[in-house]
Amino acid sequence: MSSHPTDKRTTVPSILARKGGRPIVALTAYSALTARMVDAHADVILVGDSLAMVEHGMDSTLGLTLDVMILHGRSVMRGARKALVVVDMPFGSYEESREQAFRNAARLLGETGCTAVKLEGGVGMADTIAFLTARGIPVMAHIGLTPQSVMTIGGFRTQGRQEADWPAIEADAAAVAEAGAFSVVLEGLVEPLAAKITGAVPIPTIGIGASAQCDGQILVLEDMLGFSPRVPRFVRRFGGLGEAADKAIAEYARAVADRSFPGAAEVYSMKA
């Protein structure tokens, strides 16, 4: 856990002030290594529960514990100097009651040094969000396609394809904003609905699979760098690091096999 007192960290009010202005750049990071790289360019770093699949090889986000999120949150805080760091509240850590949510959110902030937490849910979570924000815990909300509810909604499905479904999603957005969330992630929404919500709520919307009409964007770092073999349609691969890493590892293996590594430049010699 660390903060860097000589560096000016992005604040919740500064993110709120970006509503309708310069787009907010957000990316995930799960370690000090990736946080250092992302921090140079991003306004917000999310320690997302997507690390369940990306880092731990799980089939969904549902198996993560609060202790695992704290471990990764601490690591990210060691690498991030200026970005606002948000840590996901894992499944089962906040749904039971607002008091449970407060205890666990307080642990996340206190034990990692992060600035805010993120939790999924709209109207049903508004009372919890209001309870947290009234007690000094900044909350980033998350509506639309909510991965922690994937079994309930029947899979990773785009939301809002039927206009009849829009009012409920719009109500979710209005509810989390009214409850005091400082921003809201819109995941897997059709473009016109994302645009409508962005124009209606007073807090920044951060899209993932919700079009450029949002106030900002977020992607999973490993997806956009090309490490993930399969990615959703909304991901653009900005790099081919997966292929580059595979090539480097293969070259290392060949060099070991043919005894060309280590070479003369990589071994220690006796003192004369």
Domains of the chain: 12-239 (3.20.20.60)
Which pTM was predicted?
Answer: 0.92
Q: H/E element holding 167? A: helix 166-179
- Is there a binding annotation on residue 118? yes
Does 120 count as an annotated binding residue? Answer: yes
| Annotated binding-site residue? 266 | no
pLDDT for 4 = 46
Question: Could you report the per-residue pLDDT of 219-257, keeping only the tens digit for each?
Answer: 999 999 999 888 888 999 999 999 999 999 999 999 999
As a whole number of angstroms, the longest Cα–Cα distance in the chain is 83
Closest of 192, 238, 233 to residue 212, by C-alpha: 192
Q: Is 55 a catalytic residue?
A: no
Beta strands 24-28 and 84-88: pairing type?
unpaired
Angle in degrees, 0-180, between the axes of helices 126-134 and 166-179, rounded to the nearest 10: 20
pLDDT value at position 146? 84
The helix or strand, by DSSP H or E, that contains position 207, with its residue range, turns out to be strand 205-208
Q: What is the pLDDT of residues 22-79, one digit of tens each?
A: 999 999 999 999 999 999 999 999 999 999 999 999 988 999 999 999 999 999 999 9
Tell me the average pLDDT across 114-140. 98
Give the separation between CA 180 and CA 126, rounded to whole angstroms: 9
Task: Give how far Cα 30 sits from Cα of 17, 59, 137, 192, 206, Å.
Answer: 27, 17, 21, 32, 19
